[in-house]
Structure 1
Amino acid sequence: MKRRIFITATNTDIGKTYTTKLLLQAFAERGLKVGVIKPIETGVVDYPLDGEELLECVKGLNPKLWSLEVEDIVPITYPLPAAPFVASGNTPLDLKKILQKIEEMEAFSDIVLIEGAGGLYVPIDEKTMMIDLIKLLNAKALLVTHCSLGCINDTLLSEKALESANIPYITVFNCKGEEKSFSVVSEPYFIKTGQKVLKVSDDIDSICELLYNL
């Protein structure tokens, strides 16, 4: 089986798409043929915005994917900007459709990045949470967390969930411009407790190395 990395986060609007694009570029620079998929995107009116970004990015990095359409990147969409459970009216997860698109991508890729929607406990249907999808896809996880006040609690809760589900993962911090207090109010805790603080903007090469060997 090819390598599958599932990019998840502590919540929505943390920077999954931004991180995924940087990872695609970094893995491609290592000589790997990269692929990407976002299984479910909500809030889609005309076309999936995240999916379009990912499509343009991956086409520029893997020439074998030039014929792809955005539907190959985002196989399931809903217009309502809400959790898939709500946006779909509790439509059962079409795992076969997602797996088919991943396997098609893997035919031309060494590694496939899978971008989730929202956080780990976003409900997809009555029986499935986003964390369950990681296991169903046999993927390793990259947890993207924020750097604003509250990130300690948010990060530890998500890490505990991944550990309880026996999902191998690494954690990275996406520090946005307005989150300047991180080094004073949150980072000291992580350093004191022995957690390596990897920042998306500064440590993407190290992150790639860790993911590749996870």
Structure 2
Amino acid sequence: MSKRIFVTATNTNIGKTFTSQLLIGAFSRMGLRVGVYKPIETGVTTLPADGEALFQTALSFNPELASLSIDDIVTLQFPLPAAPFVANKGEKIDLSRFDTALAKIEALCDIIIIEGAGGLMVPIDDENMMIDLPRHFNAATFLVTHCNLGCINDTLLSINALENAALPYVWGLNCRSEDKNFETVSLPYFNHRFESIYQIEKDIDAIAKALLDTISLQNEEIA
């Protein structure tokens, strides 16, 4: 089984796909063959945009993935841009379908980046939420958070959820040009609360290493 990373965020449109693309590059520079997987994408009318972006980026680094199609990368595609529970009209989703798809991709890579949909508490069906997938996949989690006003609350809520679920994780801030006054209104608290802070675009190589370390510790605990 390849190393697995589940990329989630504090909400939708925070930068999961952007971050996943950067991670593809970082792990590839380490000499790893990288694969990508997006179990569920909603808001799909013709092509799953996020899944396709991930696939093309990974393919540019790992040509072995050329044997796959976009339907191998994105198992469930729904037209309604909503939580999977809503987009799938509340129908139960068989998670074993994801395991079958993942095995096909993992045969072609050393590490796989699995991108979630929305945030951790997005409902998949009546039994599962997005936060249940990292445990199902036995994956380390990378949490993407934003730098706009409110990021302290959003970040701490998601970190609290991960820690309550006893899920190993690394987190980082996706700071954008429109995120005003972050260094003045939010960064001082993060510096006070945390020993180290990752800003995704400039610290992606350090993030990749931290994720590999987290996976190693996770595997030691399982052993």
With structure 1 as the length reference, what TM-score do the two structures score? 0.98
Q: Is the 8 A contact 1:4 1:111 kept in 2?
A: yes
Tell me, yes or no, if structure 1 residue 196 matches structure 2 residue 221: no
Counterpart mapping for 1:59-208 below 5 A: 59-208=59-208
- What are the Cα deviations for residues 172-211 of structure 1, in whole angstroms up to 9, with x where unaligned? 0000111131111001001011342201111001001000
Shift of residue 94, structure 1, vs aligned partner: 2.2
Counterpart mapping for 1:50-65 below 5 A: 50-65=50-65
Distance 1:123 1:134 in 2: 14
Counterpart mapping for 1:16-27 below 5 A: 16-27=16-27
Unmatched runs of 5 consecutive residues or more in structure 1: none
Distance 1:197 1:183 in 2: 13
Task: Figure out how many residues of one structure are paired with residues of the other and give that number.
Answer: 214
- What are the Cα deviations for residues 47-74 of structure 1, in whole angstroms up to 9, with x where unaligned? 1011111111111111111121110110
Secondary structure of 2:131's counterpart equals helix
Distance 1:39 1:30 in 2: 26
Tell me, yes or no, if structure 1 residue 211 matches structure 2 residue 194: no
Distance 1:149 1:196 in 2: 20
Distance 2:194 2:160 in 1: 16
Distance 1:14 1:201 in 2: 13
Secondary structure of 1:203's counterpart equals helix
Tell me, yes or no, if structure 1 residue 38 matches structure 2 residue 38: yes
With structure 2 as the length reference, what TM-score do the two structures score? 0.94
Instruction: Name the stretch that deviates more: 100-109 or 159-168.
Output: 100-109
- The percent of aligned pairs where both chains have the same amino acid is 52
- What are the Cα deviations for residues 138-169 of structure 1, in whole angstroms up to 9, with x where unaligned? 11100000000000000000000000111000
Q: Is the 8 A contact 1:187 1:197 kept in 2?
A: no
Unmatched runs of 5 consecutive residues or more in structure 2: 215-223
Moved over 6 A (4+): none
